[in-house]
Structure formats: C-alpha cells, structure tokens
Amino acid sequence: MTCPPHSEPDTDVDIRHRLLDIVRTLSRELHPDRDDSEVQLDAALERELGFDSLTRAELLTRLEREFQIGLSEQLLASAETPRDLLRAVTSAAPQQAQKQERSQPAAPANRTEAGAAPHRATTLLEVLDWHVQTRPERVQLYLYDEAEDPQPISYRSLRDGALAIAAGLLAHGVKPGQTVAIMLPTGREYLFCFFGILYAGAIPVPIYPPARPSQLEDHLQRHAGILANAATVLLITVSEARPLARLLKSRVQTLDTITTPDDLHREPAELLPPVTSQDIAFLQYTSGSTGQPKGVVLSHADLLANIRAMGRAIRVDSTDVFVSWLPLYHDMGLIGAWLGSLYYAMTLVLMSPLTFLTRPQRWLWAVHRHRGTLSAGPNFAYELCLTRIPDEALAGLDLGSLRMLFNGAEPVSPQTIRRFNRRFAQYGLHPTAIAPVYGLAEAAVGLAFPPLGRGPRIDRIVRDIFVDEARAQPAAEEDPHALEYVACGQPLPGYELRVVDDSSRELPDRQQGRLQFRGPSATSGYYRNPKATRALFDDGWLETGDLAYIADGEVYLTSRIKDVIIRGGRNIYPYEAEHAIGELEGVRKGCVAIFGSVDPDSGTERLVVMAETRLTDPAARADLQTRIRHTSHDLLGLPPDKVVLAPPRTILKTSSGKIRRPATRELYEQGRVGDKSRAVWWQIVRLVGASLLPETRRVWRGLRHLTYAAYVQLLFWLLAPPVWTLVVILPRESWRWAVMRRGARLLLRLAGVPLQVHGTEYLAGNGTRVMVANHASYLDGVMLVAALDRPFSFVAKGELQSQWLAGLFLKRIGTQFVERFDKQKGVIDARRITGLARGGRSLLFFPEGTLRRMPGLMAFHMGAFAAAAEAGLAVVPITLRGTRSILRGDTWFPRHGAVSVLISEPIIPHGNDWAAAVRLRDAARNRILKQLGEPDLARDMS
C-alpha cells in the first residue's frame, strides 16, 4: 500500500511530533513567557527561537537520549531549523549503546622529560626554531576531531606547515608589519597560519569563526570594524567566505585578499623578514561586534614574559600534559593552552569547542586517556559538566592525574566550585586541583594564580556592610545573608595588583575599589585607538575595568566597572545594539538597557534586553519582542536569554541621561519591573533618592578618608617634635625609650588604631634576644616600639645615619647601622653586630632589607641569623599584620586600620656555622610566613 501524496509514514509523523515536543519543552524552559506556537519545523533555531550554542548542544543531547541515536557534532554548527534536526534524526542509525570513551586505547603521550625550555628565546619564532633544532620529532600536540584517534603534530611539521603558509603570504605581497586576520575553526590549518603569519613578518589578528555557514555574511559584517581598525590586508578563512569578498572589501578599504589555507601553501621561501622581541606578536581584540574595536597590542616580549611567569607560578615542565577545548581565537586558549604548551614542550591535547559543547564528557575522558595534568575553562564549562553529563557516561573515569584545573575568563561561582568538587571527587579529582584564576588580554592572559596545592578559597562577607561601605568584613558562619566571593589568586611573579579609590589612592585591604595592575607583559595600548589607550593608563598602572578587594595578598573580583557582558566565554558590549533597538517602532527611543544577570543556578550570565514601550496589545507586544530578538541577534551574534518589555520610565538613568545598567539590572533581579506606578512626585523623589544615596555614600567615604588622613598627619607632626627633642636631649637610654614608647602608644590611641600584641611571654626576663620581623610599612618601627616593653637596637641600613633628623634620632635610641654596598665595610659591620649580641644587647632586624607596597614576604638576608648562630642566641620571629594596609610603602596617605604584633617562641640555634644560620633563617621565615598569611614572594621569584 502506498501513501497518498504529501502524507508521511506513521513512524515519521511520530518522530516529528516527539522532536517538536522536545524543542517546545526546551523553549519553555528557556523563555517561559513565549508562545509555543512559534516552535515550527521551519523556525530558525537561533534567530527566532533564541537557541544559542549552549542551548542547541542541550537539544542535541536530548534528541540522542530520546531516540537512542548518535548525532554528528557538526550538526551543532549546521542545523538551522527543527526540520534539519528531523532529517538528521530520521537518517541516523539507531544504536544500542553509545561508545564509551574509556574503551579507547591510550594514545602515546610525551611524558618524558625534554630538558630545559628556550629561556633565551626573544620571539615566538625563536621558541619554535629552538624546539625544532633540539627535538624535531617530538609531538607538540594531539589534535582531535570526530575520529577516535587524534592526529599528532610534531614541532617539525608545525614549522614546515607554517613556512609553507609564510611563502604564500609573501607571494601575495604581504609586507612586514601588516596585519593578517585568521577566521578559521580549531585545526591544523589554524596552527600553521598563525605561525606562518609570524614567519612572514606580519601580525596575526585572530577573530572567531561563525557558528554556522549560513551566518557567514552577517558574521563578516559584524567583524568589519575589527578588520578596518586593524587595517587588515588579507583574511584567511574558509572557502565559503570567498564569494563575500566584494562585500567585505567595500567596508574595509585596506583589505586586498580573502583566501584559504590551501591557496596559500607554497614551497618555503629562502629569505624571511627579521622579527624582533618588540615587534607585535598578535592583536587580541576585546570587542568589535559593537562599538569601537579595541585591539590589545602584545609584543613577542610581552607574550614570553607572561608565559614564563605563569610557568614559574605553577611549576610547569615538559612532563605536563595540557588538555584543552578552548578556542584558539581567545587568549586563554591561544596563549595559556597552546603557546604555553609549545614553550615548555608540554603535550597539548587539543579538541574543538564544538566537541566540548556537544559532548562535554569528551573533555574529561581526554584528561583520563592522556593522563592530563593541566586544563582550563570558564565557569560555564564546569556547569555544563555538572548538568549535561549523565553518571553512566562517567563510569571508569579517572581524573587523578590533574594537578591544576583553572577556572577563569568569566565570574567564578562558589556554588559551581563546590558542586564540581563534590561530584568529581569520586572520579579521583583532588580537592586542591580547582584553581580560580584572573587575567585579561591587556596583560596577555594571566595575572593572578592561587598558590600550588592550596585549592579554592571562598570569602564570606557581611552583605550590608559591603553594600553600604564597600568593606569586605568577614561574616559569621551562621550568617544566612552573607555574600560569597572566590579568591582568584596572588599576582604572578613580577606583577603587581592594587585597589584604588576614585582619586587613584590605594585602598587598604578588604576595601572595594578599582583594580589596577602593572607587570612585564602589560600592553603598550590599543592598536590605532589613542583615546582608549589614554583611558587605560593611570600613572604607570593599567585599569582592568573590574571592581575588587584584596585580602591576605589575594584578589577577589566583585563586579565590573565596564559594561561588558560575559556570555559563554564571549565579551559582549551593549551600546550599538541598545541604539538599534531604540530605533524600532514601538520602543521608546533611548530607553533600552542590555545587561548581564547572573543565573544563581548555573553561575553564568544571562543576556537580558529591557526596552520601554507603550504597547499594550498582546499581539503587538509579541511582535515587538520578536523584532527585538532579531535585532539583538544580528548585532550581537547571539540571541538574548530574556526580552523584557517594560512600561515607560522603568529604565533608570543618570541626571545626564545615561543608562544606569547596574541599577536597572537590580530592578530586574528584584522582580520590580512593571510595578504599579505611583504618583509622579513620588516617582521623582524615589529616583532622586536612588541616585543620591549611592553618590552620597561615595562622597562621604572619600571625605571621611581625606579627613582621617589629614587628622593623622596633624597628630604625627604635633607629637614628633617633642618626642624627637626629648629623645635627643635626655641622658639615659631608659628615659629616651620611655618617651618614645609613650609617644608611639599615644599616636596609635589618638589615631584610633587598635594594637593587639600576642606572645609577650616569649620576651620575658632579661636575656639577650635577636628579633626578626617582616617589613611592610614605614609604621613598623612605631608599632614595635609601642608593642615591646624592653629596649633593643634596630639594625638599619647605613645610609640612614647620614640624614640629620632621622640619623640623630636613630643614633640616640641605639640603632646599629650596617653598610649594604661596600662589602668590605659590611663584613666589619657584621662582626660588630655579632659582638654587640654577645655583649648582651638585644637586636631587632628587618631581614627583608626593604619594603614593598604589594603584599607578600620577600627573601631574608642572612645577617641576623649569622649573628645569632655565631653568638649562640635564640631568634625570636615577630609577625606584623595590618601596617601595610594603613600606610603603603609608596604613599604618605594613611588609612584607618588595626594592627597585630605576633611574637613567636624563640628558635634555638643548633651549631654556630653557616649551615646553622641557614636553618635559623628558614625556620624563622616559615613561622612568620605562616602567621602573616600573605604570598611567599621568595618562592614566586625563585
């Protein structure tokens, strides 16, 4: 029996209904307020239904589960409508059970030590050449596609492929210093093209490829701003883009050629342009789909400095294995995963982001299969593993080889960390492996990493105090309303972070402010964008655009100053889309806000579009929502998670008419959009009050800090002259010390600085002591004088005695000076100090020798410990906490704070030789470091 025309077999009808039911269910979960009637076979998954890449991946998983089939990962990129999915489902062969990754044979991994890294290389090209000369056939990476077995790429084949691309670029007339854009998916061609551009003396400009071929035209138009800003002369992309060359060239005047990797392959050229360490290695664009593109300039020296700093921080060597699905157009994937692995001769296991999105378990099984030791992903990746991987897909998984699993590139959720650790502990994941990190393109990629083996640290703070005073006061464990923030680590070796107020004065610990950085890989600015470059710098420091506080030397990110939204690892800038939506009929012009709202369950940001309208008819409002979704998708490259139509005067603005996105987001998150309107006068009062309260708090905090600083300065200059005079003229040392101690304690009491002293029993009696203390601030001496009830002699640098005021005062209190630069005189001074110790004089050393503004304990000099060992005296470690927060080493602007002085049990020397002195130093330093709770700068610099 044949079916009538246009009819479908019963089985096909059943599949169609089941498939549409799955799509409708997912649509309702994603957009509860939308009409199911929009879900039709020919509805556009992304543009009309609002299914982004993550949602489409979830859809594929549900279809596989429902129909017991296996679908191609490429379907995530190629399917445009439910009808496309229906064809794939009906043509897919049923399978009883999906292939288990654990059944795959182990691929060979380079776990053998490969010797030293190319530490003298000055460019990325020298790094690759060095490896080719020393280990040409060593596998640099394993490249996975949908096949079971990965494709190995050696150092030699990487360079050979790159040289072939370089020859093609030179043949096309590309000149040194010109920019060449790469718009390719993860694959060997991308790797060859990146280094090929460098060998040709040009500058790579990575841009992300379109998710689907049908989006190619819109995608290229969105990226025309980047290509124009970079003055791109050639674009390397997929063959499907070539017909669009004329369209793109009309918008990018410098663009001469659009070509493919296959067309560029040539016999390697004999002569290649020279490349130096200060040449631009690539441009990392932080925006461009909307607004003014900002291309971060990164030289070869910048990249190598950052790669080396990250490697030192996590003790990388060639036996490590890095498993990555991160896209190569993103700094975390390009620099952190690929170039970092290449530098240290690590094995890189590389897979496509599509592979991860469709089957996130393949990431974890790749770790298992290759015994990966390092990996990384944004917070949403960990959520995807929690929500999308069934338990049966993990049977036999072993993650015990992982020593660091980085979480960065978007806000880190405390809930995600806890849940991921709980679930995957049963699969061997060590609780200290997860490492929340912080970085940004302006620093190359990495900026702060947590200490090795420490594990994640979550800070619980009092909500009301933080909201009102921007002060992160630790909360009680039982506080149900406490805010939680995740520590993102300590600055990498050679880098510094600071938190400043609106006047760019550094704030004390646990006070929120603008986060700034400086370091060896800091960018020189934005490519051909002097205005943005000027806004980036603040007296030698670079703005991160983030708000944060620092506690115990670690940075806690709290929010962003800039209006960037991070969605699925991508940066989204709202300005142009807000303007375009405001031009739509039915939308109040200038009354559109686009913002990110954190999903409390997943920890990732949802993209919300709020637009004011006077429309009340349901059909007209539904049509307007559809038009807003289409416009947002066209300009931002992805659909919004939520379109909110709000009544007039809902979106909050400043007095000058600028959109207050954070305040509008708060209105949305509190569910107050569309609240019944009140009288106009009351609305005005509320709006003015809402605007004035935060500003009043900010001004009051600034005024309070200024007043306090002036008051403390006045106190000091009122007390200093009489104390100095009495110390100089009084004949007895005991009298001089009594005056000085009372003056120090009076200063602290009047300044409102609490001083807590612990362990005074360890200084009881009249025995001679050698005391050593960390040095964090110019206040340290004042605190020690106030805390210790017995006279002692400071040991200070010799140049202080030549200063008349300070030198005379220090001499009168018995300070001993040592020469730091004349080694012969320094030896004589050391012997004199040892003689004083033997003679019964207690000494106090700052063995770091100097102080720095950044938190952390530096290496100790040996003088104090050599003197103690030779004289047979105990060393008393003293830990000062809080002084740096009150007065930083590079400022005379005091902040309010509290100080504690922790006196430890004396350490007895065992022997009087150099080895005994070294043991004394290490024991004393370890004790101070443990009590201080700050980074170990000596370890970081080793």
Instruction: Report percent pLDDT > 90 for the chain.
Output: 46
Average pLDDT over residues 632-659: 74
Please name which of 876, 568, 594, 901 lies closest in space to residue 755, comparing C-alpha atoms. 901
- Contact indicator for 276, 300 with CB cutoff of 8 Å: yes
User: Highest mean pLDDT range out of 12-26, 47-61, 294-308?
Assistant: 294-308
> What is the DSSP track for 548-600?
EEEETTEEEEEEESS--EEETTEEE--HHHHHHHHTSTTSPTT-EEEEEEE-T
Calculate the average pLDDT of the chain.
Answer: 85
Q: Among 283-297, 402-416, 490-504, 891-905, whose mean pLDDT is lowest?
A: 283-297
Per-residue confidence (pLDDT) for residue 225, from 0 to 100: 84
pLDDT band at 604, cuts 50/70/90?
low
Sign of CA dihedral 485, 488, 490, 496: negative
**Secondary structure element (H or E) that encloses residue 797, with its range:** strand 793-797
Q: Judging by DSSP bridges, how do beta strands 404-407 and 434-436 pair with one another?
A: parallel
pLDDT at 221 exceeding the cut of 70: no
Per-residue confidence (pLDDT) for residue 780, from 0 to 100: 92
pLDDT at 681 exceeding the cut of 70: no
Per-residue confidence (pLDDT) for residue 495, from 0 to 100: 94
| C-alpha distance from residue 394 to each of 14, 99, 146, 285, 780 (Å) | 32, 12, 19, 37, 55
Average pLDDT over residues 307-330: 94
Q: Among 179-183, 398-402, 700-704, whose mean pLDDT is lowest?
A: 700-704
Q: Among 80-89, 107-116, 622-631, 921-930, whose mean pLDDT is lowest?
A: 107-116
What are the percentages of helix, strand and coil residues in the chain, rounded to 5?
A: 45, 20, 40
Q: How far is CA 731 from the centre of its chain?
A: 58
- Contact indicator for 858, 938 with CB cutoff of 8 Å: yes
- Measured N-to-C along each axis, helices 124-134 and 300-314 cross at an angle, to the nearest 10 degrees, of 60
For residues 664 and 707, the model is more confident at 707
Cα separation, 279 vs 245, whole angstroms: 29
pLDDT at 196 exceeding the cut of 90: yes
Average pLDDT over residues 516-533: 94
Q: Among 205-214, 476-485, 546-555, whose mean pLDDT is lowest?
A: 205-214
Biggest CA–CA distance in the chain, Å, is 123
As to burial, measured by CB atoms within 10 angstroms (0-12 exposed, 13-18 middle, 19+ buried), residue 109 is: middle
Average pLDDT over residues 458-473: 89
Average pLDDT over residues 420-441: 95
Average pLDDT over residues 541-551: 93
pLDDT band at 690, cuts 50/70/90?
low
Contacts for 294 with CB less than 8 Å, ≥ 6 apart: 285, 286, 287, 288, 526, 529, 532
Average pLDDT over residues 389-406: 94
Give the count of beta carbons closer than 10 Å to the beta carbon of residue 646: 20
pLDDT at 800 exceeding the cut of 80: no
Per-residue confidence (pLDDT) for residue 97, from 0 to 100: 40
Per-residue confidence (pLDDT) for residue 260, from 0 to 100: 93
Question: 193: helix, coil or strand?
Answer: helix
User: Highest mean pLDDT range out of 101-105, 547-551, 847-851?
Assistant: 547-551
- Contact indicator for 447, 491 with CB cutoff of 8 Å: yes
Give the count of beta carbons closer than 10 Å to the beta carbon of residue 857: 24
pLDDT at 181 exceeding the cut of 90: yes
Identity at 715, one-letter amino acid code: L
> What is the DSSP track for 354-401?
HHHHH-THHHHHHHHHHT--EEEE-HHHHHHHHHH--GGGGTT---TT
Cα separation, 580 vs 584, whole angstroms: 7
Residue where the block lists tokens 């691309």: 165
Cα separation, 486 vs 278, whole angstroms: 36
Using only C-alpha atoms, the chain has a radius of gyration, in whole angstroms, of 32
Average pLDDT over residues 851-864: 86
Per-residue confidence (pLDDT) for residue 61, from 0 to 100: 85
Per-residue confidence (pLDDT) for residue 288, from 0 to 100: 44
pLDDT at 600 exceeding the cut of 70: no
* Domains in the chain: ranges and CATH: 10-97 (1.10.1200.10), 121-136+150-275 (3.40.50.980), 449-560 (2.30.38.10), 574-673 (3.30.300.30), 712-941 (3.40.1130.10)
For residues 384 and 797, the model is more confident at 384
Identity at 884, one-letter amino acid code: R
pLDDT at 423 exceeding the cut of 80: yes
Per-residue confidence (pLDDT) for residue 90, from 0 to 100: 87
Per-residue confidence (pLDDT) for residue 559, from 0 to 100: 80
Give the count of beta carbons closer than 10 Å to the beta carbon of residue 923: 17
Cα separation, 246 vs 217, whole angstroms: 11
**Secondary structure element (H or E) that encloses residue 516, with its range:** strand 513-518
Contacts for 504 with CB less than 8 Å, ≥ 6 apart: 538, 539, 541
- Residue 254 is given by DSSP the state T
Question: 286: helix, coil or strand?
Answer: coil
